[in-house]
Structure 1
Amino acid sequence: MIRLHRGLLFGSALLASLSWATERVSDVEPIKPELPIDRSTQRPLLGKPITPGILDRRAWSAGQPLSGLALPTPVLIAAGNTPGPTMCLTGAVHGDELNGVEIIRRIMFALDTENLTGTVIAVPIVNLYGFQRNSRYLPDRRDLNRYFPGNPTGSSAARIAHHFFQDVISHCHALIDIHTGSFHRTNLPQLRADLSNPKVAKLSQLFDNFVVLHSVGAVGTLRRAAVEAGIPTVTLEAGEPLYLQPEEVAQGVRGVLSAMRGFGLMGEYNKVASDQKVFFESIWLRADQSGVLFSEVKVGDSVKKGEILGSV
Structure 2
Amino acid sequence: MRIAAVLSLPRYCLRLLPILICLTCAPMPALADEGDLDEPVQVPEASPPPADPVEPDPDEASADPPAAMEADPPAPVEAAAESSEPPAEAVAAEPELPSPFIMLDGEVPPGEVRQLSWIASESFAGISVPTPVLVAHGLQTGPIVCLTAAVHGDELNGIEMVRRIFYGVDPKELSGTIVGIPIVNMFGFRRNSRYLPDRRDLNRYFPGSPTGSSASRIAYSLFENVIKHCDALVDLHTGSFHRTNLTQIRADLSNPKVLELTQNLGALPVLNSRAQGGTLRGAANRAGVPTITLEAGEPGRFQPKEVAAGVKGVRTLLNKMGMVKKTSLWADPQPVFYQSNWLRADTGGILFSKVELGDEVSRGQVLGTVTDPITNNRSEIRADNDGRILGMALNQVVIPGFAAYRVGIPKTSEEVAEEQPEPDPPETEPPSEDNAQILLDESGSDVPETTTAGTEPPDSGAVVADDEAGEPATAEPAPPPPAPIDELEAEERPD
Q: Could you say which TM-score interval applies, normalised by the shorter chain?
A: 0.7 to 0.9
- Unaligned runs of 5+ residues in structure 1 are 1-36
Whole-angstrom distance in 2 between the partners of 1:271 and 1:180:
24
Choose the corresponding residue for 2:222, options 150, 164, 174. Answer: 164
What is aligned with 2:201? Answer: 143
> Are the aligned partners of 2:98 and 2:139 in contact in 1 as well (CA < 8 Å)?
no
Q: Closer, same or farther in 2 for the Cα pair 1:80/1:132, shift >3 Å?
A: same
TM-score, normalisation: structure 2: 0.53
- 1:67 Cα deviation (Å)? 3.1
What is aligned with 1:22? Answer: none
What is aligned with 2:212? Answer: 154
Residue type of the alignment partner of 1:144:
L
1:62-73 mapped onto 2 (5 Å cutoff): 62-73=120-131
Deviations, residues 66-111 of structure 1 (Å, cap 9, x unaligned): 3322100000000111111100000000000000000100110111
SS of 2:257's equivalent in the other structure is helix
Residue type of the alignment partner of 1:244:
F
* Aligned-pair identity (%): 55
- 1:283 Cα deviation (Å)? 2.3
2:302 counterpart of 1:247:
no
> Are the aligned partners of 2:101 and 2:109 in contact in 1 as well (CA < 8 Å)?
no
Whole-angstrom distance in 1 between the partners of 2:186 and 2:157:
15
User: Higher helix proportion, which one?
Assistant: 2
Whole-angstrom distance in 1 between the partners of 2:198 and 2:328:
48
Whole-angstrom distance in 2 between the partners of 1:245 and 1:268:
24
Question: Which of the two has higher C-alpha Rg?
Answer: 2
TM-score, normalisation: structure 1: 0.84
SS of 1:309's equivalent in the other structure is strand
1:168-179 mapped onto 2 (5 Å cutoff): 168-179=226-237
SS of 2:292's equivalent in the other structure is strand
> Are the aligned partners of 2:97 and 2:139 in contact in 1 as well (CA < 8 Å)?
no
What is aligned with 1:13? Answer: none
Whole-angstrom distance in 1 between the partners of 2:325 and 2:334:
24
Residue type of the alignment partner of 1:285:
L
Choose the corresponding residue for 2:109, options 51, 65, 71. Answer: 51
Residue type of the alignment partner of 2:213:
S
Whole-angstrom distance in 1 between the partners of 2:252 and 2:335:
15
Deviations, residues 279-299 of structure 1 (Å, cap 9, x unaligned): 112222111012222211111
> Are the aligned partners of 1:66 and 1:156 in contact in 2 as well (CA < 8 Å)?
no
- Unaligned runs of 5+ residues in structure 2 are 1-95, 371-495
Deviates more, 1:270-279 or 1:154-163: 270-279
Whole-angstrom distance in 1 between the partners of 2:243 and 2:326:
39
SS of 1:188's equivalent in the other structure is strand
Q: Closer, same or farther in 2 for the Cα pair 1:269/1:107, shift >3 Å?
A: closer
Residue type of the alignment partner of 1:220:
G
Q: Closer, same or farther in 2 for the Cα pair 1:276/1:256, shift >3 Å?
A: same
Q: Which has the higher contact order (CA 8 A, sep 6+)?
A: 1
Q: Closer, same or farther in 2 for the Cα pair 1:295/1:119, shift >3 Å?
A: same
What is aligned with 1:202? Answer: 260
Aligned Cα root-mean-square deviation (Å): 2.0
Whole-angstrom distance in 2 between the partners of 1:242 and 1:162:
26
- 1:171 Cα deviation (Å)? 1.5
SS of 1:76's equivalent in the other structure is strand
- 1:39 Cα deviation (Å)? 4.5
Residue type of the alignment partner of 2:212:
G
Whole-angstrom distance in 2 between the partners of 1:182 and 1:270:
29
Residue type of the alignment partner of 1:49:
E
What is aligned with 1:82? Answer: 140
What is aligned with 2:317? Answer: 259
Whole-angstrom distance in 2 between the partners of 1:224 and 1:78:
26
Aligned residues: 275
What is aligned with 1:285? Answer: 343
